[in-house]
Copies of this chain bind each other. A is one copy, B any other.
Amino acid sequence: MRNIKLHLQYDGSAFHGWQVQPNADTVESQLKAAIDRILHEPVRLQSCSRTDSGVHALDFCCNFKTASDISVEKLLRGLNAVLPQQIAVTRCETADEDFHARYSCKGKCYLYRIWNAKTRNPFLLDRALLYPFALDEKLLDSAAQAYVGTHDFAAFCAAGASVKTTVRTVYSCSVTREEEMVTFSVTGNGFLYNMVRIMVGTLLDINEGKLPAGSIPAILAQKDRTLAGRTARPEGLYLARVYYEDGEWNEP
C-alpha cells in the first residue's frame, strides 16, 4: 500500500467544517468522494486537524493508504478537476509508510485576520472579522507575548472538549497591522479546540478594556475558561501552515 500525502487550500465559508457529518457538506466528505471517483476505492483519511465551520485553510494536510499505482501528478490533476472550486489540492506526494498527517505533525501556524474599519470590505465577507472599533495593535502585540511558552491552555479550550492534556507550547505570536488589516499570527506545537479563537477573543476583550492588558498570565494560571475572553467568530481564522519537520517554523 502506498501512503499518499495531500496539501489542500479551502475557503471554509462554503463548508460545514472539515469533518464528515451526516446531512452536511464538509471538506472531508467532498475529498473522500473525489478520491473515490478517481481511484474507485473508499479510503480512510487522516488529517492534521479539524477545522470548524467557516474556518479557512491555506495549508491543510491529510494522508491515506491506497493500492493504486496512479502517479501523484495525475492524482493531483484529477482531484482538482472533480473537487468543488472552493477546495484546491496544492501538493500531492508519496510519503513514508509511517507518515501520519496528525501524529507526525510537529507544529502549525494560524492567522486570524481582522478588518479594522468603519465600513465592511466587500472582498472580505466571510474572510476576515469586521471590527469597527479603534484597535491598538501595539498594546495587543505586547499582551499576546504572554501566550508564548509551554503553558496549560485549559482556560483557552472550548468547554466539553476531551483531550489527554491541555498543555501546549506556543513558539511565537504577533499582532501586526497593514493599513486596515490587523493580523494575529501564532505558531505552536498544537492547539486545543477553539484555542486560537479564544486567544483572539481575549485580546479583543483587552482592547475594549473588559480585561486588563496584563491579565493573560493569571488567566493561564487559573485554567478557568470563564476567565478568558470571548470566542472570536470563525471567519477570520486561517490554518496557514502545517509543519512536519522540527524547527521548520524558524525558517525564513
Residues of A at the B interface (CB closer than 8 Å) are: 9-11, 56, 76, 80, 85-90, 119-123, 125, 127
Q: Are B11 and A88 in contact (CB under 8 A)?
A: no
Which of chain B's residues have a CB closer than 8 A to the CB of A56?
123
CA distance in complex: A250, B60 (Å): 43
Report copies per complex: 2
Among A85, A86, A122, residue most surrounded by chain B Cβ atoms (within 10 Å):
A122
Which of chain B's residues have a CB closer than 8 A to the CB of A11?
122-123, 125
Q: Are B120 and A80 in contact (CB under 8 A)?
A: yes
8 further contact pairs, Cβ within 8 A, besides A11-B125, A76-B119, A123-B127: A9-B122, A11-B122, A11-B123, A56-B123, A80-B120, A85-B122, A86-B122, A88-B121
**Nearest opposing residue in chain B for A10, CB measure:** B122
A-B contact pairs, 22 of them (CB 8 A): A9-B121, A9-B122, A9-B123, A10-B122, A11-B122, A11-B123, A11-B125, A56-B123, A76-B119, A80-B119, A80-B120, A85-B120, A85-B122, A85-B125, A86-B122, A87-B122, A88-B119, A88-B120, A88-B121, A88-B122, A89-B119, A123-B127
Q: How far is the CB of A193 from chain B (nearest CB, A)?
A: 24
Among A10, A80, A85, A120, residue most surrounded by chain B Cβ atoms (within 10 Å):
A120
Q: How far is the CB of A231 from chain B (nearest CB, A)?
A: 22
**Nearest opposing residue in chain B for A79, CB measure:** B119
CA distance in complex: A207, B43 (Å): 42
**Nearest opposing residue in chain B for A123, CB measure:** B11
Q: Enumerate the 5 nearest inter-chain pairs by beta-carbon distance, A residue then B residue, closest first.
A: A11-B122, A86-B122, A88-B119, A88-B120, A85-B125
CA distance in complex: A23, B86 (Å): 29
**Nearest opposing residue in chain B for A86, CB measure:** B122
Q: How far is the CB of A130 from chain B (nearest CB, A)?
A: 10
**Nearest opposing residue in chain B for A87, CB measure:** B122
**Nearest opposing residue in chain B for A58, CB measure:** B123
**Nearest opposing residue in chain B for A11, CB measure:** B122
CA distance in complex: A123, B238 (Å): 12
